[in-house]
Amino acid sequence: MKAKTITGNNPEAIRTALELAVNEGFQPTLGLVFVPSHFDYSGIVAVLDEHDIAIFGANTPDKFTDQGIENDLASILLIDLDPAFFRIVLKSLPTSDYEAGVIVAREIGQIGCSQFKRPAFILAIAQAEVPGEALVEGFLSGAGEDAQVVGGFTGGKPYWSEHAVFTNKEQSQDGVMCLIIDQDRVEVHGLAVSGWKAVGTPKTVTRSEGNWVYTIDDEPALDVLLRFTGAKVDMNESDDLLMQIGTFPLQVIGNEGSPVMKPPLMFNKETGAVLCGGQIPEGAKIRFSLPPDFDIVETVIDSARDLKKQVLPDADALLVFSCIGRQMSLGPMIEEEINGLNEVWKVPMIGFFSLGEFGATKGGKATFQGTTCSWVALKEK
């Protein structure tokens, strides 16, 4: 499998780059297309259609390739994989209802299993309000508890503005799009890694509903969060915790694998509740996180180095879904993280900064979490 990244600020620039690659003997069959939120992608779709390239596309404001962060350009990873080895599915999900999310994801999981014995699922989600946990539950119930599920929620600016996922023939502003890959033909290996260091003793979520955590150890969640992080919040300025104090993810301790990250996003000053980037059930054990440092970046890069050494010495392409919270919290260090991942295999890479990530933690199964870098390397057998 060969891969190549191209970028451009309009369809003609993409056409020129694509035709140059084709003239050199490259015949791509699949394009992962990530374009700015304001971008009219119909022209790029037309260009790729001319070359019979299947499209896995998304509007997303902050994205990157092996050439660096490219916020104002359309970025495309072209791959010459046999079309028999993959399938692209896009399903609309017009409701944020939990059970509806489970049903749609289960259907896609079952489609994958009907096509391949060992399917892997790469996701881009435009329906920002559906619980990520519902989608994970659906995929694992439809394709098995060990199913590979990797990807992220796309975003616009402002981050919850309208945006879309799209294929050659379809588009949706509330869609769940999935690239299904045959793992008997393509090796798919990756991890969801945070790197945030835990602090303090485990505590218990004693009251929660959906993404809202009301009490921790029977105290208002906001009071506990601020006491243990030492962060300062102006109750009258904004209810946006992420913008006021940065990222101090709650680390949810599970029965297997590394902790799952759920960042606090907003608060309600009347109730003292905290809205998190994902659901935390009552009774869950959590720990708080220390402020970010460079070790966070090294932890992510080391996870790829270890996998290269132990499992996948060579790769053909790399996909990365990194939380927008990492970009905000790490500042310039985020480029070191992205470049460091790229240096592990030194292959064409594409990714975007997401609003919630899917992937398996070390020693665990696929989950939904935030403030995480979920990466996956591909290698044709």
Give the N- to C-terminal CA distance of the chain in Å, as an integer: 9
pLDDT tens, 296-316?
Answer: 999 999 999 999 999 999 999
Whether 161 has a pLDDT exceeding 60, the answer reads: no
Which pLDDT belongs to residue 160?
A: 53
pTM across the whole model:
0.92
Mean pLDDT across 34-58: 93
3-state SS assignment for residue 12: helix
Rounded Cα–Cα distance for residues 14 and 75 (Å): 9
Flag the least confident range among 82-91, 132-141, 158-167: 158-167
What's the rounded Cα separation, in Å, for the pair 282 and 222? 16
| Contact assessment for residue 80 and residue 26, using Cβ atoms and an 8 Å cutoff | yes
Q: 10 Å Cβ neighbour count for 343?
A: 12
Joined tokens for residue 90: 């896009």
Quick check: 159 pLDDT over 80?
no
Residue 38: what pLDDT?
75
Q: Which of 287, 283, 248, 243 is nearest to 264 (CA)?
A: 248
If residue 198 lies in a helix (H) or strand (E), which one and from where to where? strand 198-209
Both structure tokens of 3: 């891969």
**Would you state the pLDDT for residue 255?**
75
Q: Parse the chain into domains and list their residue ranges.
A: 3-193+294-380, 198-289
Rounded distance between C-alpha atoms, residue 293 and residue 273, angstroms: 28
- Give yes or no for residue 244 having a pLDDT over 90: no
What is the rounded average pLDDT of the residues 103-116?
97
Cβ atoms 380, 186 nearer than 8 A: yes
Q: What is the pLDDT of residues 8-18, one digit of tens each?
A: 999 999 999 99
Phi, psi torsion values for 292, nearest 5 degrees = -70, 150
Query: What pLDDT was estimated at residue 328?
Result: 81
pLDDT at 243: 66
Kindly state the percentage of the chain with pLDDT values over 70. Answer: 96
* 25 CB neighbour count, 10 Å cutoff: 8
pLDDT at 122: 98
* pLDDT higher at 112 or 229: 112
What pairs with residue 252 in β-bridges?
260, 286
Average pLDDT over residues 343-363: 94
In the predicted structure, residue 133 carries a pLDDT above the cut 80: yes
Taking each helix axis from N to C end, the angle separating 98-115 and 132-143, rounded to the nearest 10 degrees, works out to 30
